[in-house]
Every structure is written in C-alpha cells, then in structure tokens.
Amino acid sequence: MFIDGRFTGGNASETIRVINPATEEVLGEAPRGTAQDVQAAVAAAKRAFDGWRRTPANERAAALHAVAEKIRAHHDDLVRLLTEEEGKPIPENDEELWWVEETFDYYAELGRHQRGRVIPSGEAGQFNFVIREPYGVVGCIIPWNYPLLLLAWKMAPALAAGNTVVIKPSELTPLSTLKMIEVACDHLPPGVVNVVTGYGPKAGEPLVTHPDVPVIAFTGSLAVGQRIASLAAPMMKKLHLELGGKDPMAIAPDVEMEMAVRGLAYAALINAGQVCTSTERVYVHESIFGQFSEELADFVGKLCLGNGLEEGTDIGPMIRDRFREKVEAQLSEAVAAGARILVGGRRPEHLSRGFFLAPAVVTGVDHSMRLMREETFGPVIPLMPYRDFDEAIALANDTPYGLGASLMTRDARLVKRFFEEVRAGTIWINDPLTDNFAGPFGGMKMSGLGRELGQEGLDEYTDVKHVHWDVEGGVKEYWFPY
C-alpha cells in the first residue's frame, strides 16, 4: 500500500493474489488492507489537505502535468501490466493509458482556469461573489475493468480542485494502480495521494464510513452503489456514483451496413463487453433485420479471441470465471425461452486456460429475458427487431438504467427525436462509446449520481460558498427594532 508518501504493508497480515485472467497464473500479491490501514491513510490525507489546498493553482497544475509526463515515460510498461492484470488487448490498454495521461493534463489546466464567479449585488455598496472550495479527503473506489482510466477521472479533478485522495483499487487489479502511483506521484507532498489495497468489507466500507472523508467517488455495480449510499446517507456525504447500465442501440433502415456492423461490434465487445457503457440491447428495423443479423454474425465470428499480449488479438478474456458463468447463465436462460445463438457463446476449445468466452450474437430475444433486462457485462450482442421509431424509442427507454444510448442513422429527424426522448446521460450518434474531455460523462435513473470529465467533473469535487460583503458597512433600516 502507499500511505503518507511511502510504500508499506501496514496492518495487513494477509495478501491478495493477483491473477492473469488469460493464463490463470499468479502475477503478484498485494496487502489485504484493514480498517486500521484506512485510518492511517485518511489521517495522512487529512494532514496534507491544508497545505495542498493552499498550494497556488499554478503549482498544482505543474504537479499534475508532471504526473502525466511520468506516466508517459512508463507508458509501455504500464500497458503491459494492465494487459496482464485485467486482460484487455494491448491496443485497448494503449488507448486507456493515453486517456489517463491526457486527463491529468486536461485537469491541470482546468483547475487553474476559474474558482467561482462575481454576481450582481442587491444594493449599492455591496459585493457578492461565489467561490468553490475543496471538500477535503476524497475516497476513490475504483473498479477492475478500467483501473487507471477511472482512477484518473476521479483523482485528477479531485487534486486539481485542492482535495487529497485515498484510493481503494479493486482487489482484482491493484498492481497497475500501485505501479502508476510509484512511477508518477513521487513528487507530490506526502499524504496527498494514498492507496489502500483490500476487499470491500474490510477496506472499502471503512473508507465510506470514515467521518473525515466527506466525498466518496465510486464506479461499479448498482448493488454496491446502493450499499455505499445507505452507509453514507446518515453522514450526509457527497456521493459521486457511476453505476451500471444496460445501454441500447437503435439501428435505422437507412444505415450503411458495414458501419453499423463494425460500430456495434466495437460498442458491444470492447474489453470483452466488460464496460459499463457496452451496448447490451440492440433494436434493428425489421426491414433489414435478417441481413444485418447475418452480416453481424459473420463479422463477429471472424474476430480473434486470445491473450491480449499477442499481436492480432481482438478480444481478450473475461476477468474471472464467476463473471463468465453469469453470462453463460443468461445465455442458457434465453435459449431455453426461445432465443437462438447465431455464433459464439461457448468456451473456446483452443484456449484451455484463461477465462475466455467466444463473443455471441443472439436473436429471438425479448424483454422478458434477463439477457435484455439485467446488466450482462460480457461479450454478447442480443438483437431484436422493431416496426417503427416510436417502438424503438419505447424499447430503449424500457429499463431502470440510463447511462448511455446509441443510434445508427443518416436521418437528422430521427437523431433529434432520439436525443430528446431517450433518457440517458450520453447519446452517441454513429460513433458509439467515444468520450470527450470537455463533455460530461454519467448516468440518469439508476445509473448513478454526478458526472465525470468536463467542467462538471471538476465541480463534483468542490463545494459552493456565497460571499455577501457590505463594503460600506453601517446600520441597516431593516434591522431591529421594527
């Protein structure tokens, strides 16, 4: 673990074995942190807060730029470690690291751009303004699917705003986080950044309930997000929750077939479908449904499944066997209810080790199936026909989630209806799953609270204060006695 500027085993008497999901071999170990370790990390972060918040914004910006440059200097090593630890192919982790580097640079500049605003005063002789101030210690609880990217989306704006952080990485992927902190954060004052490795009950929950941690930033499942919310509610903490999704894609009859096939395959199968914004429900106009299904199955069947370190691999393993089994169970239930698997859905015979599952294309589905209602988080593309665009929008909205939604069309009238009527935090038209540093990312409905990226992502880590200053002073006629 990394606490108060140094690496330590802390109070941990046990370790976590970190496994390569492509080979099932042990990569290394990390301490199994305890509530005492969380206490030490929070105490260090609290001590560092006053100094860090008073550090001039230009100096904080320089420090964040230095983080970005140091990550770039170790880019290839971090990409390889990410691939070994989490499983994504090298090209996907290369992109993740680029995003990490650029996120620190982006918030380095945004953090010194503004601190508030001057507002019109109610009367002459008065001065009114709004300032934004850091909260203090931010608890960052990070998932395994994008361990460095989703850390950067929290850590960079939190630090830019003047907060300090305590990071609890996933127990499945702690090594890449520790490595990044080791190589990129050694110039930061002790206590500004801390890492406690461990499991949720022993490390995550003590962080959530700690009275000196006013902000919790979490990315993960709806169930864990609800648990965090229930623990934090009595303490009135600021919560930033990016939770699950069941993202739809609608494909209009005017679409260019190759673009739609390849765009959908990317949106549904990147990181073996283990993305909160993965396309998990697809609605295709009935006039092109047969042709589209065949061409998609043909394309998906030719994708290369294998170890992410090997050149030419398109899709890597799932993170662990229990996640694969969940996907297989959803597929089995759907088939029993009348669905048809056109391609994939099986464990590949040529890969005897690793948690691989051949990407599946499924037809004959409907909204009575778990495959179309619950988050799958795996390499499955279920296709369902629709008659008209009213039905497509109704189907897209038929979910408790609202993280993202995609549309493939050249018809501007359909585009306008889609982004106005579909309830989701991000709408993609013809280019799914892309992000923009200046564009806020987050969900509606049960998909969470708050936003990452953009000015909104920085505002999440600052509290608002209104200052009312009567420059002239003097007794007011509306004071007592009446």
Q: pTM for this one?
A: 0.97
User: What secondary structure, in 3-state letters, does the chain show?
Assistant: CEECCEECCCCCCCEEEEECCCCCCEEEEEECCCHHHHHHHHHHHHHHHHHHHCCCHHHHHHHHHHHHHHHHHCHHHHHHHHHHHHCCCHHHHHHHHHHHHHHHHHHHHHCCCCCEEEECCCCCCEEEEEEEEECCEEEEECCCCCCCHHHHHHHHHHHHCCCEEEEECCCCCHHHHHHHHHHHCCCCCCCCEEECCCCHHHHHHHHHHCCCCCEEEEECCHHHHHHHHHHHHHHCCEEEEECCCCEEEEECCCCCHHHHHHHHHHHHHHHHHCCCCCEEEEEEECCCHHHHHHHHHHHHHCCCECCCCCCCCCECCCCCHHHHHHHHHHHHHHHHCCCEEEECCCCCCCCCCCCCCCCEEEECCCCCCHHHCCCCCCCEEEEEEECCHHHHHHHHHCCCEECEEEEECCCHHHHHHHHHHCCCCEEEECCCCCCCCCCCECCEECCEECCECHHHHHHCCEEEEEEEEECCCCCCCCCCCC
Tell me, yes or no, whether 229 lies in a domain. Answer: yes
For residues 354-365, average pLDDT:
98
**pLDDT tens, position by position, 276-299:** 999 999 999 999 999 999 999 999
- Mark whether 6 and 84 lie in a shared domain: yes
**pLDDT tens, position by position, 128-140:** 999 999 999 999 9
β-pair type (238-242, 448-449): antiparallel
Band (pLDDT 50/70/90 cuts) for residue 311 is very high
Tell me, yes or no, whether 478 lies in a domain. Answer: no
Tell me, yes or no, whether 481 lies in a domain. Answer: no
- Mark whether 358 and 214 lie in a shared domain: no
- Mark whether 404 and 453 lie in a shared domain: no
The pLDDT value given to residue 326? 98
Tell me, yes or no, whether 238 lies in a domain. Answer: yes
The pLDDT value given to residue 158? 98
Domain at 289, CATH number: 3.40.309.10
Tell me, yes or no, whether 227 lies in a domain. Answer: yes
Tell me, yes or no, whether 442 lies in a domain. Answer: no
For residues 190-201, average pLDDT:
98
The count of domains in the chain is 2
**pLDDT tens, position by position, 419-436:** 999 999 999 999 999 999
**pLDDT tens, position by position, 389-403:** 999 999 999 999 999
* Closest to 10 in 3D by CA, of 19, 2, 18, 22: 2
The pLDDT value given to residue 439? 97
Which residues share a beta bridge with 281?
A: 248
The pLDDT value given to residue 322? 98
**pLDDT tens, position by position, 253-271:** 999 999 999 999 999 999 9
Q: For the sheet with 340-343, list strands across it.
A: 340-343, 360-363, 380-386, 279-285, 247-251, 404-408, 426-429
Tell me, yes or no, whether 196 lies in a domain. Answer: yes
Band (pLDDT 50/70/90 cuts) for residue 244 is very high
As a whole number of angstroms, the distance between CA 155 and CA 103 comes to: 10
The pLDDT value given to residue 92? 98
For residues 160-166, average pLDDT:
98
- Mark whether 195 and 312 lie in a shared domain: no
The pLDDT value given to residue 451? 98
- Mark whether 194 and 259 lie in a shared domain: no
The pLDDT value given to residue 314? 98
- Mark whether 256 and 237 lie in a shared domain: no
- Mark whether 225 and 251 lie in a shared domain: no
Catalytic positions, please?
Answer: 242, 276
- Mark whether 334 and 379 lie in a shared domain: yes
The gap from C-alpha 327 to its chain's centroid, in whole angstroms, comes to 21
Domain at 134, CATH number: 3.40.605.10
Q: State the residue range of the domain holding 266.
A: 247-429
For residues 216-235, average pLDDT:
97
**Considering the chain, what is the average pLDDT of its residues?**
98
The pLDDT value given to residue 90? 98
- Mark whether 120 and 257 lie in a shared domain: no
Band (pLDDT 50/70/90 cuts) for residue 65 is very high
Tell me, yes or no, whether 435 lies in a domain. Answer: no
The pLDDT value given to residue 379? 98
- Mark whether 135 and 157 lie in a shared domain: yes
First to last CA, the chain: 63
- Mark whether 413 and 461 lie in a shared domain: no
**pLDDT tens, position by position, 96-138:** 999 999 999 999 999 999 899 999 999 999 999 999 999 999 9
Q: How far is CA 64 from CA 46, 109, 191, 194, 339, in A?
A: 20, 9, 15, 16, 51
The pLDDT value given to residue 243? 97
Percent of the chain at pLDDT exceeding 70: 100
**pLDDT tens, position by position, 11-62:** 999 999 999 999 999 999 999 999 999 999 999 999 999 999 999 999 999 9
- Mark whether 181 and 269 lie in a shared domain: no
